[in-house]
Structure 1
Amino acid sequence: MSAQPFHIWLISPSRRGRQMLWNTLKTGASYEVNCHWHHRGPYTGTGTLLRQLVPEVYRQFPEHVLAHAVEILSIAPELRSTFSVSHETLTSLAIPEERTRFYSHTRTLRLAHGIIDFLKGCLSLKMYSHLSLYFENVQATDTLDQEFLRVLLRRADPATLTVIIGTTCDPLPEQLQTALADHTHQIRVEPQDAGEYLQLLQAWQFPQVWQSWLLKHTEGWPEEYEPLRDLSQYLRKSMPQGETFALGMQAISEQVSAEQNAAWAQAFIASDCTNDCLLERLAYQRLDASTRQRWHDERADWLEQQHEWSLKLGAIPYHRERGSSPANQGAAALQEALDYCISMGYYEATVDFGYRGRAVINWAEQEHYYWIFTTKATTSLAALGRPEEAEKLYNEARALSTRAKLHMQAAYATAMLYTRHLPENRRDHVLAKAWINEAIAIANLLPDAKERAFHSVFNQNGLALIETHMKNPQEALHLVTEGLKRLEEELEPGEHMLHRSVLLYNRGQVYAGIGALEEALADYTAVITQDPYYSEYYLERGNLYRRLGRDEEALADYERAVSYSPPYAEAYFNRANVHSLFGHEEEALADYSYVLEIDPTYLDALINRASIFYEQGNYTVSLQDVERGLQQDPENAQLHCTLGLLLMAQKDTEKAYQAFSDALQQDPLLVAAWTNRAILAFEENRIEAAIKDLSQALTLEENPTVLYNRGIAYQAQNRWQEAINDFTQALALSNEDAQDILYRRSLCFAQLGNTSQAQRDLQEQQALRP
């Protein structure tokens, strides 16, 4: 029996120790990336991997790269010189001044799944037989790299795509720690034992006094004492000092030459302050402020000359905010990173840049910067589910400023907090309306006509949302329609196209909510014409087509929704539902399985897949899905019902009856559970119990199959007329079991002496035979 492959987690205090282990583990095509966020900010590790992989893949399989262009270029923008995205949306094209819609906070998860599909595709295309990916410095990753790695560890098959994670011994964020515990085999690099350690110190001709001191004050990691090898001349002239290793290194850094300290400090800055050499860090800390700032400036200048965009998200703002002009050059660099991150939906990074920007400026003298850093941080906080934190910042901004536009924007945002983002127990639509009316009042006073028109309509669109929440859809329709009309009249044709499309889409949503489906369809179709590559529009219109019974058109829209976006579960789930409706079982199974791959907690996909497996007679696999689902939701009625069907197939009638009863305890409206429990009762000759369950099912839904079954039960009790009534009603609803129903009804008529009707039923039944 072969050993089960696994991903690997390397743990060592220093990078050198992890590197030595990684060198022994490389297999197949191997790639190493440094994930430390100082280098390139969000997606430092993932972006570095793509910059290494994609050019070669594009040379061999350009169509595979283009199929994942959105996610690749979102994470590694430098690759735009290699290829481009052909399907831009109004959201991605909007200039910052017209950006009124931001991506969902789940977009980064979609990007992660898309990149993983790209990697797996490289393997299925046989470009690689095996991939080994080493992610180093993972303890210092940003949240987006962490998200990617968590998903990669779960989805990657280590037999073909082995993930190696390198970290220090420091604590990790809880979710990352859990993913590593669940999906990796842990290897800890051990320090050298005292004997080996002593041999090395002797071989390097360390003085005896230093040998004794190092043996006492270090753990035996080579990276602790190796930096001292270049100081052998100094060690022979000095005595060790300090009661700890750190204090001893501090003493050395204070006594070696200024040139040596400068070299260490410059090496530390050149590593973007990521090296784990203690002597380098101590030398950096000993620099005088002006020298430290100058060297940060020089490093930033050099990095800017590399013309790599992702450096502007990491090392460049990092050095600028520590350079000689943090409030100006630092603020400018931080704002550039902030603007990019919020436009891409990188909300954790936006919050980080916002707080860092607020820290380097003078609030009283740089109000422009203050509001940019604050409002984009608050927008991101709301998207991340941290509305209380955002609310405090809005209150702070109102207290600090008298600028009308600042108060207008803060009023709008606060209204959205109270109608949309705050916890349910704190939502207050009346208070939200009060805040939005303040924003509208200020907008109406703006001196510039176009600005006044846009901001008035923008804020009235927020009021429309509040009216919808207050159950006033007609008022919401009026507000949005009037807004569209005003923008058409007062703006130039190409201005604020994104917001015009948002208004149109919002009106379509209101129409759909009140059941005006044709009007909603017209608006969705119009907005798709304006913004033809926005995936969610196709998803919504597909859902509308389903409500209208136009399933072929729904399927076509779901196909487009899938093709125009990095993967998200809803699009594949809805497509699977239509495939299932059309009897495309294999296509439906593939989509449901993919949904569960990207979201293992998507219970409806698990339920539906279990049902298809059951219908195919694949009871073992169906049962596995049911048991997995019941682990997630032990009280799920549909799963208990499917379990009952599987137990029926296994002839375990007692447990099957209990499963249907459990289903009904959780959901008394579940017709299938009433019907199947009745079948079990009938088979056990408990006819009255079967009739009672079937009658209960018919109070919930007029169903021809249930009527047919109850007719059989009445027939078994010689209740001929009641059986005839059920058979007749079943025939009126459906011809599916017409032959058997006609035959059974003829027998009932015969029992009642109505031989002519019995004969007509038999003749009609004979005519239906093939």
Structure 2
Amino acid sequence: MIDGHRRPHGPYTVASALLHHLVPGVLERSPELVAAHDIEIRAAAPGLRDVVPAGRATIDASLPDDERILVPAPRRTLRLANGLTEFVREVVPPGRTLMVCNGAETDPTDAELLDVMTRRIPPEVLTVVVYEGGPAPAGDPRGPGALWDLVDRCVHEGFLHAVAEAGRRGLETAEPGGEPWWRFAQRTATALGGLGRIGEAREVWAWARRCSQDPAVHAACAYGLAMLDARDPDPQRRDLARAREWVNEAIAISTLLRDPFERAFKLGFDRNGLALVELREGRPEAALALVESAMELAGELGERHPLHRMVLHANRGRLLAGLGRTKEALDDYTAAIALDPGFPDHYLDRGNLLAKLGLPDEALADYESAIRAGPPMPEAYYNRAELRIARDDTDGALADLGHVLELDPGYLDAYINRAGLLAALERDEEAWADVRAGLALAPGDVHLLVVLGQLETTAGRLGDAHATLDAAVAAAPGLAAAWGNRGVLRFAEGDVEGAVDDLSRAITLDPQPDLYANRAVALRSLGRTAEARTDERRASVP
């Protein structure tokens, strides 16, 4: 039995105890299996770092604190949970039970892990039992130093809930306005923003502004407040005008910083933030100019701040790709990867661009590099599935999409793509299941409605299909598949003229061979033989 209470050990209390029990024996039997999960094990059980070397690592760990600027996104913990689950599933003897007490007091990292383990490990292998009873720990005796060690580790691992909680306690133990207090404030506000707790983050930034007269602190606060507005995941809540006001203030203050290295770094950092505002206001060229000015400033830093340069290369690559300057974009992605080959995200970006350029082998290599670089990454498998669909590797695509949904059952696009593939293969029962699961996540999703209408047509439920596809056409008049499937439905209903109209509209939007083939059938039914022959020729062109 493991006490899951997050105090005093913090994130992955359960995982750490379980790994300390399992890893020593696995190291003796299968050291390669431990090596394959080194990132997950070292993140969840820092006490095992002396016996589990870092075979896969980013440069972040080797940098001084002021250069470790990246905070992992909240989804990183799902990747860690999946990797840990796969390790446990591989090594635990069948028929075991994991009992966890104080279940309501577990850290979100452990709660997520227990959920993934319950979902992905068969109960005949491991039964997970979580209950609420258990001893209550004493109050937290940790002082500022111990709390800072916890906050610092959790920031760089992406354990944002723990940062927010321990950071709050750190703010209560340190002298307001002092350097230790400011470090707690900055980490806490950043974590709260990453968790979407925008109001609380604003309060911490405002508190820091009230407590300090240090220009570097005020510049950082202004930048932090700007990013709360610019990065809000809900476009309706974004206030780009206010974000511009705050980031302009950050830039104005940063120009006054006395240390030339600090000034060059901070000004570049702030201009990169303003570039995001410009981009979201629809001015990519202005955004590109700002990123390039930040790169010029980064040239003044020598070998310092490699992560800052990596971010700038990646951001310029995205902007250049969006402007159609693909060769330059590829160069920037390659430069970003060279700065930190262990960082997986840029392999995805470069792979996507290579796929668009018609270089599937190179794109595949990048997707697989992203898969190897770290814990299980649903996006990498999803992107590889799309590439396999384009190459008519249906079995490979279905395997990848299935793995995506095993890793993340909330991955809507994977349901959409797999439902479409299954329907095309006439595996209708499985396709129905994916459509239902997808619509439960996103009611009214037009792509799922298109597949649903196709399935209803095949099942002879023509009235239902008509209502479904009418809704899809109304919601997305620019979606060729909606018109094409409604054309097939109308032919099945005997409305051949309507079928030709819908299929013609679909062909105008996206001239695919199957659309020509379907329209040819309808045209022959109307006696328009010459037009049908033309469509048949078009349908046969590879």
TM over 0.5, yes or no?
yes
Displacement of 1:53 in angstroms is: 0.7
Supply the distance in 1 between the matched residues of 2:443 and 2:247 (Cα, whole angstroms). Answer: 44
The 5 Å alignment of 1:566-645 reads 566-645=375-454
Displacement of 1:659 in angstroms is: 4.8
Deviations 1:666-709 (A, max 9, x none): 44444334334434544555432332332333343334443444
Contact 1:606 1:625 in 2 (8 A): yes
Deviations 1:604-636 (A, max 9, x none): 212222233333343332233233334444423
Match of 1:158? 123
The 5 Å alignment of 1:193-212 reads none
> Which structure is larger by alpha-carbon Rg, 1 or 2?
1
Match status 1:545 vs 2:346: no
From 150, 169, 172, give the equivalent of 1:356. Answer: 169
Contact 2:519 2:535 in 1 (8 A): no
Length-normalised TM-score, structure 1:
0.66
Contact 2:516 2:539 in 1 (8 A): no
Distance 1:498-1:731 versus aligned 2 partners, 3 A rule = same
The 5 Å alignment of 1:254-273 reads none
Supply the distance in 2 between the matched residues of 1:586 and 1:732 (Cα, whole angstroms). Answer: 27
Q: What amino acid maps onto 2:18 in structure 1?
A: L
| SS of 2:98 mapped into structure 1 | strand
Match of 1:767? none
Deviations 1:422-456 (A, max 9, x none): 86455332332232222222222222222222222
Q: State the aligned residue count.
A: 542
Supply the distance in 1 between the matched residues of 2:489 and 2:240 (Cα, whole angstroms). Answer: 51
Match status 1:368 vs 2:179: yes
Match of 2:223? 412
Q: What amino acid maps onto 1:533 in structure 2?
A: G
Match of 2:2? 33
Deviations 1:164-187 (A, max 9, x none): 113229xxxxxxxxxxxxxxxxxx
Match of 1:345? 158
From 333, 337, 340, give the equivalent of 1:524. Answer: 333
Displacement of 1:508 in angstroms is: 0.9
Supply the distance in 2 between the matched residues of 1:647 and 1:466 (Cα, whole angstroms). Answer: 45
Supply the distance in 2 between the matched residues of 1:97 and 1:483 (Cα, whole angstroms). Answer: 18
Match of 1:202? none
Supply the distance in 2 between the matched residues of 1:639 and 1:474 (Cα, whole angstroms). Answer: 36
Contact 2:38 2:56 in 1 (8 A): no
Contact 2:450 2:472 in 1 (8 A): yes
Supply the distance in 1 between the matched residues of 2:188 and 2:212 (Cα, whole angstroms). Answer: 17
Match of 1:91? 60
Match of 1:62? 31
Supply the distance in 1 between the matched residues of 2:518 and 2:11 (Cα, whole angstroms). Answer: 61
Supply the distance in 1 between the matched residues of 2:270 and 2:7 (Cα, whole angstroms). Answer: 39
Contact 1:137 1:167 in 2 (8 A): yes
Distance 1:732-1:422 versus aligned 2 partners, 3 A rule = closer
Match of 2:49? 80
Match of 2:534? 728
Supply the distance in 2 between the matched residues of 1:431 and 1:677 (Cα, whole angstroms). Answer: 45
Distance 1:688-1:509 versus aligned 2 partners, 3 A rule = closer
Displacement of 1:61 in angstroms is: 1.6
Contact 2:469 2:485 in 1 (8 A): yes
* Unpaired segments ≥5 residues, structure 2: none
Distance 1:405-1:682 versus aligned 2 partners, 3 A rule = closer
Q: What amino acid maps onto 1:375 in structure 2?
A: Q
Match of 1:718? 527
Supply the distance in 2 between the matched residues of 1:663 and 1:158 (Cα, whole angstroms). Answer: 41
Q: What amino acid maps onto 2:238 in structure 1?
A: R
Match of 2:146? 333
| SS of 2:72 mapped into structure 1 | coil
Contact 1:51 1:76 in 2 (8 A): yes
Distance 1:457-1:671 versus aligned 2 partners, 3 A rule = closer
From 480, 494, 515, give the equivalent of 1:671. Answer: 480
Supply the distance in 1 between the matched residues of 2:262 and 2:347 (Cα, whole angstroms). Answer: 31
Supply the distance in 2 between the matched residues of 1:396 and 1:99 (Cα, whole angstroms). Answer: 24
Distance 1:621-1:362 versus aligned 2 partners, 3 A rule = closer
Q: What amino acid maps onto 1:148 in structure 2?
A: L
Match of 1:469? 280
Match status 1:145 vs 2:110: yes
Contact 1:703 1:730 in 2 (8 A): no
Displacement of 1:381 in angstroms is: 0.7
Match of 2:252? 441
Contact 2:94 2:124 in 1 (8 A): no
Length-normalised TM-score, structure 2:
0.92
Supply the distance in 2 between the matched residues of 1:103 and 1:62 (Cα, whole angstroms). Answer: 28
Supply the distance in 1 between the matched residues of 2:488 and 2:174 (Cα, whole angstroms). Answer: 75
Distance 1:477-1:630 versus aligned 2 partners, 3 A rule = closer
Distance 1:90-1:726 versus aligned 2 partners, 3 A rule = farther
Match of 1:208? none
Q: What amino acid maps onto 2:330 in structure 1?
A: L
Contact 2:347 2:366 in 1 (8 A): yes
| SS of 2:74 mapped into structure 1 | coil
Q: What amino acid maps onto 1:407 in structure 2?
A: H
From 351, 364, 367, give the equivalent of 1:558. Answer: 367
Q: What amino acid maps onto 2:33 in structure 1?
A: H
Distance 1:672-1:374 versus aligned 2 partners, 3 A rule = closer
Displacement of 1:377 in angstroms is: 0.6
Distance 1:523-1:422 versus aligned 2 partners, 3 A rule = closer
Match status 1:402 vs 2:224: no
Supply the distance in 1 between the matched residues of 2:484 and 2:403 (Cα, whole angstroms). Answer: 32
Match of 1:319? 141
Displacement of 1:572 in angstroms is: 1.3
Displacement of 1:334 in angstroms is: 1.6
Contact 1:705 1:730 in 2 (8 A): no
RMSD: 2.6
Supply the distance in 2 between the matched residues of 1:624 and 1:631 (Cα, whole angstroms). Answer: 11
Distance 1:666-1:140 versus aligned 2 partners, 3 A rule = same
| SS of 2:341 mapped into structure 1 | coil
Match status 1:481 vs 2:292: yes
Match of 2:13? 44
Q: What amino acid maps onto 2:510 in structure 1?
A: E
Distance 1:141-1:498 versus aligned 2 partners, 3 A rule = same
Match of 1:21? none
Deviations 1:185-216 (A, max 9, x none): xxxxxxxxxxxxxxxxxxxxxxxxxxxxxxxx
From 91, 104, 107, give the equivalent of 2:73. Answer: 104
Between the two proteins, what is the percent identity of the paired residues?
A: 38
Displacement of 1:75 in angstroms is: 0.6
Q: What amino acid maps onto 2:167 in structure 1?
A: G
Supply the distance in 1 between the matched residues of 2:444 and 2:137 (Cα, whole angstroms). Answer: 50
The 5 Å alignment of 1:115-194 reads 115-122=84-91, 128-168=93-133
Contact 2:517 2:539 in 1 (8 A): no
* Unpaired segments ≥5 residues, structure 1: 1-31, 170-270, 276-314, 321-329, 737-770
The 5 Å alignment of 1:268-307 reads 274=137
Distance 1:78-1:649 versus aligned 2 partners, 3 A rule = same
Q: What amino acid maps onto 1:717 in structure 2?
A: L
Supply the distance in 1 between the matched residues of 2:237 and 2:411 (Cα, whole angstroms). Answer: 29
Displacement of 1:338 in angstroms is: 1.5
Supply the distance in 2 between the matched residues of 1:449 and 1:651 (Cα, whole angstroms). Answer: 73
Distance 1:352-1:650 versus aligned 2 partners, 3 A rule = closer
Q: What amino acid maps onto 2:227 in structure 1?
A: M
Supply the distance in 2 between the matched residues of 1:475 and 1:346 (Cα, whole angstroms). Answer: 35
Distance 1:55-1:139 versus aligned 2 partners, 3 A rule = same
| SS of 1:162 mapped into structure 2 | strand
Q: What amino acid maps onto 1:349 in structure 2?
A: A
Contact 1:94 1:498 in 2 (8 A): no
Displacement of 1:526 in angstroms is: 1.3
